[in-house]
Amino acid sequence: MRFDEDSKLDTSQVSDARRSPVGRGGVAVGGGLGVVGLIIALLLGVNPFEGGGGLAGVDQVEGDNTEIAQVCQTGADANERDDCRIVAVVNSVQEYWGGALGSQYQPAKTRLFSQGTQSGCGFASSDVGPFYCPPDSTVYLDLTFWQALRSQLGAKGGPFAQSYVVAHEYGHHVQNLLGTNDRVGGDRQGAQSGSVRLELQADCYAGVWANHATTTPGPDGGDPLVARLTDADIADGLDAAAAVGDDRIQERAQGRVNPEAWTHGSAAQRQKWFTTGYQSGDPARCDTFSGSI
């Protein structure tokens, strides 16, 4: 995956709290859970915090984008740095959905953090993994997650594996805007559950963006940020999708598979729905709520 070196990045879409204090006296939701925490909220969870609203004793610290504004200016920077790559992907994903949904689309922020952060869904440690918080319409990312994706979950990694994660989280934002979250209700576990259907649709939406990535204009309306996306890149994305399948995670963590406890979908399901979005490029093909998945 390569970005157009001369394209300009819009860092205003990403706040950087990696060097901000995370508060005093609070208890992190999911703190110290490691892989188990990833099973609960795992990488692509729409909202890992039931109840939300924050915790007493934890300071709400606003991040800024001073560093990334200085170092993440062009596509050339995105080709060299993980944080700049996230900025570029966020720019591209939002540009695509803004065009696809028109006035229905409202931009969402991405917040980079380290160790822990306060969100509209509550306090989260890095163990929660990347997540989208509907109450504040923000995607939260600790960049050290990519190491866990490789070392704990066995994914190959690579730039497009990162991009897949970001695009999936923005798929949850699209669902929030369209009211799709309401279709889940209390149906939150099982291979055919509403929760699994929601996650697989977000995978499909990630694939839809990937289909359009090299033709979606940059944030300044110029040439596309994504200059090249190869079959090898897509293979890395599919590998990441499989690595975070419920069956793979259960097998790795507890040595057995229990479909009744699935919340995100199997490796095969996740790959299937990303591929559906990527091959069709049509969000209408991402209806995971009708029929079998």
Distance CA 146, CA 155 (A): 9
CB 75 within 8 A of CB 88: yes
Residue with tokens 């879409």: 13
Stretch (H or E) spanning 112? strand 109-112
In this structure, is residue 202 part of a structural domain?
yes
Q: Are 180 and 201 in contact (CB under 8 A)?
A: yes
Series of mean pLDDT values for 10-residue runs along the chain (293 residues): 97 87 33 40 45 35 68 97 96 98 97 91 86 95 84 85 96 97 90 95 98 95 96 96 92 91 96 98 97 89
Q: Residue 258 domain-assigned?
A: yes
Domain assignment present for residue 39? The answer is yes
Residue of 109, 147, 108 lying closest to 127 (CA atoms): 147
The predicted structure's pLDDT at residue 55: 34
Closest CA relative to residue 147, chosen from 38, 250, 251, 63: 38
What is the dihedral sign for C-alpha 191, 194, 195, 198?
Answer: positive
pLDDT at 31: 29
Range of the domain at 78: 2-286
pLDDT number for residue 63: 52
CA-CA distance, 163 to 3, in Å (whole number)? Answer: 12
Cα–Cα dist 245/271, whole Å: 9
Q: Do the domain assignments include residue 291? A: no
Structure-block tokens of residue 37 = 């925490």
Separation of alpha carbons 85 and 71, rounded Å: 11
- Please count the other Cβ atoms lying within 10 Å of the Cβ belonging to residue 81: 16
Which residues, in sequence order, are CB contacts of 160 under 8 Å at separation 6+? 1, 210, 229, 233, 234, 236, 237
Query: How many domains does the chain fold into?
Result: 1
Handedness of CA 254, 260, 261, 266 (dihedral sign): positive
Q: How many CA atoms lie within 13 A of 121 on its CB side?
A: 24
**Cβ of 1: how many Cβ atoms within 10 Å?**
26
- Rounded to the nearest angstrom, the gap between the alpha carbon of residue 267 and the centroid of all alpha carbons in its chain is 17
Instruction: Note whether residue 293 is domain-resident.
Output: no
The CA–CA distances, whole Å, from 88 to 105, 147, 237 equal: 19, 20, 17
Residue 292 lies inside a defined structural domain of this protein: no
Q: What is the pLDDT of residue 28?
A: 26
User: How high is the pLDDT of residue 65?
Assistant: 59
pLDDT, residue 91, reads 98
Predicted pLDDT of residue 29 = 23
